[in-house]
Structure 1
Amino acid sequence: MTDGFSVSFAKIQKKVNGIDFEYIFEEVWTGNIVNKPPVIIPLSESFFNFAKINFIHTKMKHFIVITFALLTAFVSISAQHVIPTVESFSVGEIGVYAFPNRPLKLYTHRIAQRAENVLLTDAIGGKVLKKSMKPTTADVVLLYDANCETEAYGIKISRKGIKITASTHNGFVYALQTLRQLRNADDTYNFCTIVDRPRLKYRSFMIDSGRQYHKISTIKRLINICSALKMNYFHWHLTEGQGWRVEIKQYPRLTSVGSSVANGAEQQGFYSQDEIRDVVKFAADRGVTVIPEIDIPGHFEAALKAYPQLGCQNDSVTIPESGLTDQVMCAGKASSWKFVTEVLDEVCNLFPSPYIHLGGDEASKKRWKICPDCQQKIVENHLADENELQLWLSAQMANYLMKKGRTVVFWEDILHTEGVSLPDNIYIQWWNYLRGKETGLKAAMRAGRPVIASTNLHCYLNFPETPWKGYAKNRTFSLQDAYLNNAADKAAADFPDTVVGMETCLWTDYNLIEEQLDERLFPRIYAIAEQMWSRGKRLEFNDFQKLIPSGIFILK
């Protein structure tokens, strides 16, 4: 190019796989040419048939030849799409960075070391790396920047190489996940600058391994998906009426009996404590914290099958094929409280998460009404009824975990009554939008509780796109519904001081087996991940939908 001339990217409307697109490039004149208005040249699709394009500025007699290779670079830049979308993406100098034909020089700050070990090789296409002691001499730099917010990161790709900045492990993880998506098919990277940070501090995915047992390899794949979509929590639902999945040393029958009480396909099995520790480390390396859920007092049939004395009556236990029964943990017996504390002790030793989920949803009060121990507990604590008894039990469990420095998450159901004071370490998960609309959200706000929004309509990915088994039409939704009409997303915008995060859930009711998980996850999980992470202006749905194919490639 001649002196005083450069080309900058002005506007993109992109389309992939046959959709119309337009590129507009702008001449930017510098140097001796002062106050000269830029020349805007729209390029139609037909121009792509030419090997070169001539830019002529008649007055200045400049003749610039842009080769087809440079035009290809423009096209590639337009196709840079990352899911979730980044807060700021800019292009200064136009160009493509290709790795040199030698081992790459890599500088890594110690805080970035774990992220580098797990993700960098994949992000740079398996290139051979050689450590560099100085960032100024390295091709790839992972540099600590104290000015970056906790999960924020920056990426700058230029002729000098790739520079990544962050201040935390998670920040470096997210940067490398973005870099994976920036890599072109020929292992090159278009010059760009990215600055990115999350919209919500709590971004979570839940898998129901209580109803259906999942192989460790499946759990790890789901964690990889969380990490790729910049979700920082993996909510592992480990106990259900159909199965108790977490090994508890003091109560061995929970797994020897409780893990195989259901008879359907993929409904038998449990996770040893060694397996759980492995999963927790695997997730942490990828910027994901595993939150265990031990559901108390309802959804408890598998535990009662193993230890019937934990119920109000020591009678036979019925394992539901789907749904639930009125068989719950007794809230009045001293042995029940002993069980709760001993289980929680082991759970806390296995999971370093700051959050422990204790369920609390859909707990029948039928047996508590006729249980002498439960009724005595109501009298002793001056409670009004069985709903207050559950609230009291929830407060007791939260207080116990407060001593261990943990925050407890409960489903909104515990707030069906307001007669008991709750400790400060409780978050409420709002879920039942289909039946109660904003009831759970409003109850949490009255109680002054932080809220995790996971409204079943549009956040529950077990709801199929078309009716299936027990899911009627009113329990279905599309990608477009999830993107445009998610009540959890709206609540996060309307009540930012209350809604600290969002969660998307994949329950496994009606024997949803492993080979069916992907058809529930994709593509709708992309819409929810976008809502959790992206702070920029929301794309129109049609534009967002066009981004999805590359995301699938990245995740699978």
Structure 2
Amino acid sequence: MAPVPLPLVPFPAHIDVRRGPAFDLSGAGLSADPDAATALRSLVAARTGLDLPDGDGIVLTVQDGGPAESYVLEAAATGIRVTGADAAGLHYGVQTLGQLIRRDGDRWAVPPVRVEDAPRFAYRGVMLDVARHFHDVPTVRAYIDRAASLKVNVLHLHLSDDQGWRLELRSRPELTATASATAVDGAEGGFYTQDDYRAIVAYAASHHMTVVPEFDMPGHTHAVSLAYPGIAEAPVTDVITEGAIPVEGEPYTGTAVGFSSLRVHDEATYAFVRDVFAELAELTPGPWLHFGGDESHGTTPEDFARFVSRASAVIADLGKTPMAWHEAGAATGLAPGTVGQYWGFVTPVDAAPQHARGFADRGGRVVLSPADAVYLDMKPTDDAPLGLTWANGATSLERAYSWEPADVVDGLPEDAILGVEAPLWTETVATLADIDALVFPRIAAAAEIAWSPATGAERTWESFRTRVGGLGPLWTSLGVRFPALAEVPWTT
């Protein structure tokens, strides 16, 4: 009978499981820099109830020389040492150490291993849509905790949509004064003050995550029309195939898409674009500003190309890297270096691959978010109470795991793939419990695809489902309310 793999997700690049006794955590001391020490103490306390005083036994250090975000973990009965090539690498080594902690009779122990690990992709993201349903700062912090534990390093915040605008901007105060109060199905809206947003950015940075903020345009802008009607077109309702019909001048609480647009030929529109992205750039230390560009069904292709070309140039002129959904790749005037986000299917349809390659053709790269694999808002099972099914039906954990980034877009070389992102749209997601119910355990699949080598003895569905099952006790101790999917042999 083959040994059960250690419950490590994402699986490391190299691991050597050694013979000999395990390291006993009882009475162990800790020598580490303050941030790493805080992270490990929190993990150990949640998992075991033990305190780790200053002392000998576990050493966490940073030592320059390895690849960015890499680490080496060595555990033996005599002690544990985690060495990161940088602070991020040390943080990820701590997360691996936390996953290794297990019951050994009446004690808590770490098995003897040597791990040498580094990520496959530089960009390993999750997205949280706070426009369809607003999620407050504590909820965002909790989501950061969950994602960072799986070596995710980007939080994409979808800050505006037809249902609401979610960030205070002093240059355009009407956006939150008149366009932030509502959400899907009449739920209470809300917005982040600038101090709230800075707090999210700082908390993410403390977990080695970069925030990518998105103001979606020229479509998905009905909320903008409430605040600044002079720059918005009237809703184009004949593009709506399902969902409530919008009414000009009234808040929208339905879930239809594609009906709204900014006025592409009005210079006041581009003054608005410059104002909102200039202020967003000042608030955002990370390199990327996302301007959306998806599902603009009420905008002609010519007008769409005109808009995304000018919007991307505005962001580039601010010293930031523009980012957009893959439809924007059709525009030949897109700013060079713009990053594209592919949200088509694992087996592409229509012109999505051509559009995705358009970013690489102009010196940019592509983040892969195939909707039928890593859209976390899809139902995990047909009978799940939350989620949607438009992306080829329910997305099982096995389907979320069984795809390869380099195989999605023909003609897109791997070095043009910046990374992988798992979006969570929130039409059906109103609370942290809802987030957990849809995100877990499928976020683990996206994390492994983004971090781990494409092949290896443990890079199989059978290994993955067993390893995920072994994380159940850790996730429970961390307060994650994950659904016990039947696909997984859960450890109790």
Scaled to the shorter chain, the TM-score interval is 0.7 to 0.9
Q: Quick one: structure 1 residues 352 and 151, their matched pair in 2 at CA, closer, same or farther if it must change by over 3 Å?
A: same
1:351 corresponds to which of 284, 289, 311 = 284
Give, in whole Å, the separation in 1 of the partners of 2:446 and 2:165: 29
**How many angstroms apart in 2 are the aligned matches of 1:152 and 1:205?**
20
Of 17, 20, 31, 1:106 maps to 31
* Match of residue 404, structure 1, among 308, 311, 318: 318
Aligned to 1:145: 63
Deviation at 1:342, TM superposition (A): 1.4
Q: Is the 8 A contact 2:71 2:92 kept in 1?
A: yes
Matched, 1:282 2:215: no
| C-alpha RMSD over aligned residues | 2.7
Offset at 1:396? Answer: 2.3
Secondary structure at 1:264's aligned position in 2?
Answer: helix
Partner secondary structure for residue 285 of structure 2: coil
Give the superposition deviation at 1:251.
1.9
Q: How does 1:164-183 map to 2 (within 5 A)?
A: 164-183=82-101
Equivalent residue of 1:409, what SS? Answer: strand
Residue number in structure 1 paired with 2:17: 91
Deviations 1:8-45 (A, max 9, x none): xxxx7235xxxxxxxxxxxxxxxxxxxxxxxxxxxxxx
Q: Does 1:211 align with 2:132?
A: yes
Write the letter of the residue equivalent to 1:543: S
Deviations along 1:393-427, one digit per CA (max 9) or x if unpaired, are 223222222233311110011234x4x33322301
Q: Is the 8 A contact 1:153 1:164 kept in 2?
A: yes
The answer to whether the 8 A contact 2:258-2:295 is kept is: no
Task: Give the partner amino acid of 1:85.
Answer: F
Structure 1 unaligned runs (5+)? 1-11, 16-78, 132-137, 367-385
The superposition leaves residues 499-540 of structure 1 with CA deviations (integer Å, 9 ceiling, x where unpaired) of 221111111125665432222112222222111111151533
The 1:141/1:399 distance shift into structure 2, 3 A limit, reads: same
* Whole-angstrom CA distance in 2 between matches of 1:363 and 1:211: 17
Task: Give the letter aligned to residue 391 of structure 1.
Answer: A
Give 1:40-189 correspondences, 5 Å limit: 80-99=6-25, 101=27, 104-108=29-33, 113-123=34-44, 126-130=50-54, 138-185=56-103, 186-189=107-110
Structure 1 match to 2:241: none
Cα deviation for residue 487 of structure 1 reads: 5.9
Where in structure 2 are the equivalents of 1:156-305 lying within 5 Å? 156-185=74-103, 186-262=107-183, 264=185, 266-305=187-226
Report if aligned partners of 1:459, 1:503 keep a CA contact under 8 Å in 2. Answer: yes
Q: Is the 8 A contact 1:164 1:175 kept in 2?
A: yes
Distance 2:432 2:76 in 1: 43
Mark the CA change 1:325 to 1:155 in structure 2 (over 3 Å): closer, same or farther.
closer
Give 2:162's aligned amino acid: G
Distance 1:411 1:184, change over 3 A: same
Counterparts of 1:100 and 1:163, CA distance in 2: 16
SS at the partner of 2:312? helix
Q: TM-score under structure 2 normalisation?
A: 0.84
Counterpart pick for 1:547 among 447, 453, 467: 467
Q: Equivalents in 1 of 2:347, 2:24: separation in Å?
A: 55
Q: Is the 8 A contact 1:430 1:454 kept in 2?
A: yes
Q: Is the 8 A contact 1:151 1:170 kept in 2?
A: yes
Amino acid at match of 2:15: F
Shift of 1:294: 0.6
1:93 Cα offset (Å): 4.7
Q: Is the 8 A contact 1:243 1:267 kept in 2?
A: no
- Partner of 1:377 in structure 2? none
* Equivalent in the alignment of 1:491: 408
Q: Secondary structure at the match of 2:156?
A: strand
Q: CA deviation at 1:318?
A: 5.8
Residue from 427, 442, 445 that aligns with 1:527: 445
Point out which structure has higher relative CO (alpha carbons under 8 A, 6+ apart): 2
Give the conservation status (yes or no) of the 8 Å contact 1:203–1:503. Answer: yes
- Describe the shift of the 1:492–1:222 C-alpha distance in structure 2 as closer, same or farther (beyond 3 A): farther
Q: CA 1:523–1:438 in structure 2 vs 1: closer, same or farther (change >3 Å)? A: farther
Report Cα offsets for 1:415-459 as digits up to 9, x if no partner: 34x4x3332230111112289537323333245131111011111
2:367 maps to what in 1? 452
Q: Partner of 2:327: helix, strand, or coil?
A: helix
Indicate how the Cα distance of structure 1 residues 319 and 178 shifts in structure 2: closer, same or farther if over 3 A, else same.
same
The residue type paired with residue 421 of structure 1 is G
Please tell me whether the aligned partners of residues 20 and 77 of structure 2 are also in contact (alpha carbons under 8 angstroms): no
Cα distance in structure 1, aligned partners of 2:93 and 2:214: 30
- Paired residue type of 2:59: V
Rounded to whole Å, the distance in 2 between the matches of 1:269 and 1:359 is 21
| Structure 1 residues 456 and 313: alpha-carbon distance in aligned structure 2, compared to 1, 3 A threshold | closer
CA contact (8 A) 2:233 2:263 kept: yes
How many angstroms apart in 2 are the aligned matches of 1:212 and 1:283?
Answer: 21
Preserved CA contact (<8 Å) 2:72 2:115: yes
- Determine the C-alpha separation between the residues in 2 that align with 1:261 and 1:309: 21
Q: CA deviation at 1:207?
A: 1.2
The alignment partner of 1:278 has SS state of helix
3-state SS of the aligned residue for 1:452?
A: strand
1:263 Cα deviation (Å)?
6.2
Q: Deviations over 1:25-81 (max 9, x none)?
A: xxxxxxxxxxxxxxxxxxxxxxxxxxxxxxxxxxxxxxxxxxxxxxxxxxxxxx632
Aligned match for 1:389, one of 261, 284, 303 = 303
1:515 match: 433
- Determine the C-alpha separation between the residues in 1 that align with 2:155 and 2:195: 18
In 1, the alpha carbon distance for the partners of 2:171 and 2:255 equals 29
Structure 2: how far apart are the matches of 1:476 and 1:297?
A: 30
Are the structure 2 counterparts of residues 218 and 330 from structure 1 closer, same or farther at C-alpha, using a change threshold of 3 Å? same
8 Å contact kept, 1:454–1:488:
no
Give the corresponding residue for 1:466.
382
Structure 1 residue 152: deviation in Å? Answer: 0.7
Q: Which amino acid aligns with 2:324?
A: F
Aligned position for 2:355:
443
CA distance in 1, matches of 2:347, 2:231: 31
Q: Does 1:341 align with 2:274?
A: yes
SS at match of 2:392: helix
Following superposition, the deviation at residue 162 of structure 1 comes to 1.4
Q: Give, in whole Å, the separation in 2 of the partners of 1:553 and 1:237.
A: 31
Q: Distance in 2 between matches of 1:338 and 1:546?
A: 54
